Amino acid sequence: MAKKSVTPMMKQYLEIKQDYPDAFLFYRIGDFYEMFYDDAIKGAQILELTLTQRNKNGQEHIPMCGVPHHAASNYIDILVEKGYKVAICEQLEDPSTAKGMVKRGVIQLITPGTLMEQKAGENKSNNYLTAIHQTDDQYGFAYVDLSTGEMRSTVLKDLTAVENELVATRTKEIVIDESVTAPTRAVIDKLKILQSQQNTVEQRSEFSYVSQNLTADAEIQAVKHLLMYLTVTQKRSLAHLQQSVHYQPADFLRLDRYAKRNLELISNSRTGKKSGTLLWLLDATKTAMGGRLLKQWIERPLLERQQIEQRQALVQLLLDNFLERNTIQEELTHVYDLERLAGRVAFGNVNGRDLIQLKTSLQHIPQIKYVLSELDGQAFKPLLDQLDPVEEVVDLIDQAIVDDPPIAVTDGNLIRPGYNAELDQYVDAMQNGKKWLAQLEAQERQATGINNLKIGYNRVFGYYIEVSKGSLAKLPEDRYQRKQTLTHAERFVTPELKEKENLILGAKTKATELQYQLFVALREQIKDQIKRLQRLAHGLAQLDVLQSFAVISEEAHLTRPQFTDGHDLQVTGGWHPVVEKVIGKQSYVPNDINMPASLDILLITGPNMSGKSTYMRQLALTVVMAQIGCFVPATKATLPLFDQIFTRIGAADDLISGESTFMVEMMEANDALRQATPNSLILFDEIGRGTATYDGMALAQAIIEYVHDHIHAKTLFSTHYHELTALEESLPALKNIHVGAMEQNGDLVFLHKMQDGPADKSYGIHVAKLAGMPTSLLERANKILQQLEAGADNQDAKTERDVRQASSVHIAEQVPAEKGQLSLFQPEVTAKPRSSQEDQVLAAIKNLDLMDMKMFDIVKAAVKWQEMLKK
């Protein structure tokens, strides 16, 4: 926007704004943050502010809007939540002493990834900022939660892994540099994550500390760019940042974004909320730290059996000792968010109330330690070593900070009497001054005879003597000097009042300034103990999650699972824990899942709504719960350790990428087939339903055969293609099971019980009846079904099976209505004689032993037949 002429202040604004073109600039003027030009136009619309103009009488009208400085945080939160950045521009000198234009500068850039304050209800969630650095064949990947100081980093091999990690961390903002290529940026764009550019890196000592345990150059560069971005945007101490912890995604049970979505581990697939998820079920944590750690454990289950069994042993101890567990829970309810309190101390935005919370939290640590040591000091020793009460900090806060401090640290009334002698003198002067004022008021009333005379104070005029207008005649003329006229009264000062005002206000100003200085010094002393506080916070978070597991295991009657080194899987009386909690234990029908080492695939048939998908999900949730160290929903469970879980459950388009349901289905299936190992768990729900019947059936069979012959992973495969149940005869590691159902008085009753063998009927029309379809429609469907079944009964059974599997042969044609509707699988009816090529094709089909052929060979033969028929 071309500017013909601007005032000195607007010139200053434009110069500052030039450095922050992608952010809203909150420019401090007095008690308001103002926005100008495009920021004002857009900000007024988003924040619902009144848009005004500056220089209304001048040649240029400048759009303008503003917010009060004391309420700015609410408006900033709205902008950041919508994905914008906000640059806070403050007055860097006192306007009353400034010569000329007040010096201003940006003191902080607040972005979606650098928020320090969490909204109510989100204290159990992390807010991650991520950085990516790309080399020829790998990606350095690092992420940090600025509010807690925790940082992790790794090296990823491909874009799929990058996408999975971005989704897993739910990162709000990504820092990229010039190394990041267009395909990588496209993935970030698809995920709708804010990108921020940080190309340069300066050498800083804290960078070496944070990255000292890392070896890969790409990973180190990602960490450095991440830290440089924080340094540039936050412009303050980052002493609370912890050393970056290297991790490998392969060190944990792999759950890609499809599996996490389908299993609803963290967020409900319909609402996006926590309710109805595994996290919702298991969260009986008492602290924000524990809530965040629980989420991290669920997202990354363990692979190391010893670690899992160590967690299980501690859960068992807490489960078996109700009174001690109850005491620990009670103590934890008094522990505030130590991780974020430590971050606020380092960041410099901690206040007096935060320090009282810190002191209160630390005072409960000794009792927690005592209870744990009485339970089993040896078993809990790794945790006990982390539970440092940090007594020095408790003593410092107790000596310095009053019990009920104000929110603002610049308002005074913050430091205890006796902590600082100089401060006590100022406080004494203020208190004695107030006594003197009370005495002066009594003296003046007596001297003047005005009983309603009073001494007051306001910030504009200071101290004054107020006299009603009806009593003005009684005032002596030599001592009283008029200061302010009101409607019903006059205000005056006297020489004595002026003298005492200087003393009182001088003491008050000095006391307020000194209290702030003492508070800052105290904050710096506490900052020296941040590493100890963070270690304590991590120990408390672990204890909180473990007691949460114990509480839920007791309430839901969960069982401690056993692990086997082989591939035997046995779950007796298992249930879906979330569904059971919602509908009640009395209504839920438990089921067994038995898969010995020799059995890889369970082929599940049965009607819709009967519970096939729930049965599959409950196994996956049982595995996740077991490998995070929790007990599981079953009366008995013996499990192998799984390295990956792949799912294809439910139908969903990826509209953002322009991918159909079937394409998403194939992509998820392909990921499983390429990545799965014999130690993986695969859940495929009705693969192939998104395309034509024969195509879908062919794909489903080919996938089953591929898993059976090449992968050997434990697989649950549900289908409505009843033809596939014949595979049990040719695939020794496959077994048919079905969900029981029965007809009662013409209605369908689901038994929700798994039984051996294939389902004998689909019950599709019965399910449609349950869904409330019109009666006339259902009657018509029944008639059509009877016609189809009657036609099918007249076919040769082997021919029918062979034809169904030869998916490339077109064998169903609509016939004239007067002849009746034929079965879907009835051979083609034609009025003309068959050609020699047609005879050859039919002979080939009739003599072919399809059950001994692979799907590829069948399709190859079908292509040959099609070419013959075209001739």
Q: What stretch of H or E contains 70?
A: none
612 in a labelled binding site: yes
Beta-ladder partners of 756: 737
611 in a labelled binding site: yes
Residue ranges with strand state E in 706-830: 714-718, 734-744, 747-756
DSSP helix/strand/coil, 167: helix
Cα of first residue to Cα of last residue in the chain, in angstroms, is 72
Q: Give the separation between CA 455 and CA 463, rounded to whole angstroms.
A: 7
Cα–Cα separations (whole angstroms), residue 620 to 225, 448, 474, 625, 646: 38, 89, 91, 9, 9
Backbone angles phi, psi at 484, to 5 degrees: -160, 140
860 in a labelled binding site: no
417 in a labelled binding site: no
**How many helices (H) does the chain have, and how many strands (E)?**
29, 27
Q: How many CB atoms lie within 10 A of CB 74?
A: 11
Q: Looking at this protein, which amino acid is placed at residue 75? A: Y
Backbone angles phi, psi at 24, to 5 degrees: -75, 130
Q: Give the separation between CA 372 and CA 806, rounded to whole angstroms.
A: 67
Tell me 631's DSSP state. -
Would you list the DSSP string of 477-514?
Answer: TTT-EEEEE-SSEEEEE-HHHHHHHHHHHHHHHHHHHH
871 in a labelled binding site: no
Q: Give the separation between CA 338 and CA 148, rounded to whole angstroms.
A: 9
Q: Looking at this protein, which amino acid is placed at residue 385? A: D
DSSP helix/strand/coil, 130: strand
613 in a labelled binding site: yes
430 in a labelled binding site: no
- Burial code (b: 16+ CB inside 10 Å, e: under 16) for 155-182 equals bbeeeebbbbbbbbbbbbbbbbbebbee
Q: How many CB atoms lie within 10 A of CB 826?
A: 19
Q: Give the separation between CA 870 and CA 838, rounded to whole angstroms.
A: 10
Give the strand order in the sheet containing 139-145.
194-197, 173-176, 128-134, 139-145, 151-156, 245-246
Structure tokens at 106: 């940006």
Q: Give the separation between CA 567 and CA 555, rounded to whole angstroms.
A: 30
606 in a labelled binding site: yes
Q: Give the separation between CA 582 and CA 634, rounded to whole angstroms.
A: 17
Structure tokens at 231: 């340094």
Tell me 718's DSSP state. E
Q: Give the separation between CA 429 and CA 423, rounded to whole angstroms.
A: 10
Tell me 559's DSSP state. B
Residues annotated in the binding site, as ranges? 606-613
Residues of each annotated binding site for ATP? 606-613
